[in-house]
């Protein structure tokens, strides 16, 4: 999957879980030692967190794990939260919605 299609699926899953009135929403965000920065922002994780929160979820807890190959996964746990004041979720029909700076 491409980064854009991963974000689209994440937003769709988050919206559907919110509409089902789930109390929690847990996702897996991945990166590998080959594309992760040595320090600073992990842009794809920031985009994923922003995409989920834009659908009405609030980050509650966070954990990470690394496998023997150096791949790191994050497991953010979201709770239903207030949506007032949050930016709108990306428009899934807008082909530019998941370009850098839009999501």
Give per-residue pLDDT as tens, 66-94. 888 888 899 999 999 765 445 556 666 67
Q: Is residue 58 part of a domain?
A: yes
- What's the pLDDT score for residue 98? 61
Q: Is residue 98 part of a domain?
A: no
Tokens 């919206």 locate to 15
Q: Count CB atoms within 10 A of the CB of residue 52.
A: 26
At 38, list the tokens: 């040595």
pLDDT > 90 fraction of the chain, expressed in percent and rounded:
48
- Higher-pLDDT residue of 33 and 49 is 49
Q: Is residue 87 part of a domain?
A: no
* Number of domains present in the structure of the chain: 1
Structural domain span for residue 69: 3-80
Distance CA 37, CA 30 (A): 13
pLDDT > 70 fraction of the chain, expressed in percent and rounded:
72
Q: What is the CATH number of the domain that holds 55?
A: 3.30.110
Distance CA 70, CA 76 (A): 19
């Amino acid at each position: 999957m491409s980064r854009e299609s991963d974000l689209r699926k994440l937003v769709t899953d988050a919206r559907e879980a919110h509409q089902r009135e789930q109390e929690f929403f847990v996702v897996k965000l991945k990166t590998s030692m080959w594309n992760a920065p040595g320090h600073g922002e992990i842009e794809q994780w920031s985009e994923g967190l922003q995409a989920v929160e834009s659908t009405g979820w609030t980050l509650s807890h966070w954990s990470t794990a690394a496998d023997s190959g150096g791949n790191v996964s994050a497991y953010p746990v979201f709770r239903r939260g207030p949506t007032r004041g949050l930016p709108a979720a990306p428009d899934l029909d807008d082909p530019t919605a998941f370009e850098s700076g839009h999501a």
